[in-house]
Chains A and B, each alone.
Chain A
Amino acid sequence: MDMALKTARVALVGNPNSGKTALFNALTGAHQKVANYAGVTVERKEGLIRAASGRTLSVLDLPGTYSLRARSPDEEVTRDAVLGRLAGETPPDVVVCVADATNLRLVLRLILELKAVGRPMVLALNMYDIAQRQGLRIDLEQLRAELGVPIITTVATRKRGIDDLVAAIETQAEAAAQNENSWRSPDAAELRTAAREAERIMKVCVRPPERPDTLTGRIDSVLLHPVGGMIILMAILFVMFQAVFSWAAPLMDGIEGGIGWLGGLVAEVIPDGLLQSLIVDGIISGVGSVLVFLPQILILFLFIIALEDFGYMARAAFLMDKIMGGAGLHGRAFIPLLSSFACAIPGVMAARVIDSKRDRMTTILVAPLMTCSARIPVYTLIIAAFIPNETVWGFANLQGLVMFGLYAAGIVSALVVSLLIRKVFWRGAVEPFMMELPAYKTPDMRSVLFNLWLRAKIFLNRAGRIILPLVILLWVLATFPYPPENATMPDIDYSFAGMIGRALEPIFAPIGFNWQMVIALIPGMAAREVAVAALGTTYAIADAENATGLLASTLSAQWSLATALSFLAWYIFAPQCVATLGVVKRETNSWKWTWIMIVYMFGLAYLASFATYHVAVALGGG
């Protein structure tokens, strides 16, 4: 085969937050997650590109690291990829070291280490736009001579310098000599020597910026103020949950109206009978009751994405560190836990940045307690049905306040559980906490909107792929067999779903659940929001004659307040998400820990619901 067409394997390596993933996306057209904090990427991602010459490049995006001497699982991914340690894998043909041009000192030391690996290298000086804005003067010729590596300046987020980079990679793949790998784990003395060498290169090649970034310092003096910073953090969370309610309301009403109109239209066009019931009661009531929550989920993500891109996450971790440490959590557990607000799956995976195995386990075990976005439909449905939409204290929306309380309950229980895990399973020193605080960046409107659009697609995809089939299955179970001739109860009571629900009802009766709720919980194991769809379908079939189409008003007529609160308490704790359990199994590589998690979460859910129900009944909410 022609040498020129041989696929070249390229690895992107560099310090955390230097823009490797942004560069990977620019090179391959992928949409991997980019955000302004260290430790966003925790696994390897591969993408293919075709260079102008026709050669295929296989590009590997890797987790950021300060050295090849890996300690945490994410750093091990990088080390193994660079050294070609994985089974059946050779080291990459070209290593592209991605450097933040405004923060070169540490990456220079990493480059010295990478050179020992002996692979051809290219240095991508990324964030060159910021370097230029600051008037930072880097003598590229001199730096090239010092390092013996070709240098390309890039602006990954603007796709600048990409063609030059590809060309340089190709040249290196063809021409550059591959040396023996002489890398071995450096000891402290060698690290000092290398750091001194990096400092010398810095002095020779880089002149301090003429207009250094003073904005980050000024913003930090507000956001990291010991008292003020805490208040601002609480205020941000408060506004976020208020917004989830108040901003979304008009959009939700619109979607709800649209779905109701669609149901009515279908009912007119399709004659009464099984098909009409399947489409109106099954699909439209079921899937529709979840689709309504799209605006709320997007608003939540708008906040999360904006804060991540701005650079606030590391600050929030700083402010929360003492509290987290008090609960026995590792300092770096904050970002995995915060990511779990979106979804526990990336949250559990983000725990890879934690080096100590025990601390990682603790973080994984409590991450699913954080309120993920799939709980929003459940919480909102119940809140809208049972909590009056009032203003309290003159400014706060009561429904938003309850939502805030549910989030707080998730956070507090995560802290308490991790404290217990530490007391029960392992004691011992808390691991060190060291974290870079990145410079603030203005979030790019276009990429924020694009990421929101990706979230919307994921949500709709789930509605189609998970919720729709389950809702159809539930419809079948709730419709057949038909009731006997002399039936006295609603039809659904005689169906399979009714039988299953009634069989399991005694288990859930002590916590105030009726059988309709019980059958919603079973498909709800697939994902939390499925329970909402299942309730939508069940009540639509059960109450086909006078269904208003609005699930919330049906529920408020059918459930007592105590039952509703008990259901909320259940959802704070219950591990109703098979995908999360699957990821926990994969990341802990242990069935034992997965089962411990399932048991403790269901146990807590049952206890919390039991207590909530009985307290509420005693207070007159029965």
Chain B
Amino acid sequence: MSDAAIGQPVLLDAAPTHLIISVKETRGRRGAAPARASRDLTDTIKLSQARRGDRGVIIQVGAHCHHQVEAVELERRLLELGFVEGARIELLHEGLFGRDPIAMKVDDMRVALRRHEAASLTIKLDVV
């Protein structure tokens, strides 16, 4: 079961944005690379950037959000559907167009989500 402590949300507001951008670039080439080049840079990502096969633990729900008005509501919906800090995530399937939506295992439940909403979840990938 989940070995990560179910703790307070880890706030990432201080994280510089270029960090996320570099994540994207690294991940683009990932298929060819045998392992992640710089793990310390890439192990914390938005769920919307995750790819098929990625596993990890949710460390933050509802920080970043496209739905300004609905931000609070979306966060509560996600929490009610089991997306809470500490839950284990494994990305199982991606859609055909733009790899969207995504289907994942959240603890022991299967859930589908659009990447748009997945952007409000931050996950820490397992150290491989």
Contact = CB atoms under 8 A, between A and B. Distances in A.
A433 interface: yes
B98 interface: yes
A331 interface: yes
Contact of B101 (A195, A221, A227, A322): A322
Contact of B95 (A187, A319, A434): A319
Interface size on A, as a range, is 35 or more
Contacts of B85: 192
A319 B73 CA distance: 26
B114 A103 contact: no
Nearest to B72: A188
Nearest to A325: B114
A433 B116 CA distance: 9
Interface stretch (A51-59, A66-74, A471-479, A548-556): A66-74
Given A69-B76, A192-B84, A230-B96, A106 B109 contact: yes
A433 B102 CA distance: 11
Contact of B1 (A203, A216, A217): A203
Contacts of B70: 429, 432
Contact of B79 (A103, A192, A319): A192
Contact of B93 (A103, A224, A230, A436): A224
A408 B125 CA distance: 42
A188 B62 contact: yes
A321 interface: yes
Interface in B82-101: 82, 84-86, 92-101
B30 interface: no
B114 A433 contact: yes
Nearest to B69: A429
Nearest to B62: A188
A317 to B, nearest CB: 8
A195 B77 contact: no
A342 interface: no
B19 interface: no
A76 interface: no
Contacts of A186: 76
Contacts of A196: 6, 84, 86
Contacts of A188: 62, 72, 75-76, 79
A105 interface: yes
A71 B113 contact: no
Interface in A210-267: 212, 216-217, 220-221, 224-227, 229-230
A18 B47 CA distance: 28
B113 A433 contact: yes
**Could you say which of B2, B6, B98, B99 has the most chain A C-beta atoms within 10 Å of its C-beta?**
B6
A274 interface: no
Interface of B: 1-2, 6, 9, 62, 66-67, 70, 72-82, 84-86, 92-101, 103, 107-114, 116-117
Q: What 3 A-B pairs are tightest by C-beta distance, nearest first?
A: A437-B110, A224-B93, A226-B96
21 contacts: A105-B108, A109-B80, A188-B76, A192-B85, A196-B84, A199-B84, A208-B1, A216-B110, A217-B92, A220-B93, A221-B92, A225-B93, A226-B95, A229-B96, A230-B96, A321-B100, A432-B74, A432-B116, A434-B112, A436-B112, A437-B103
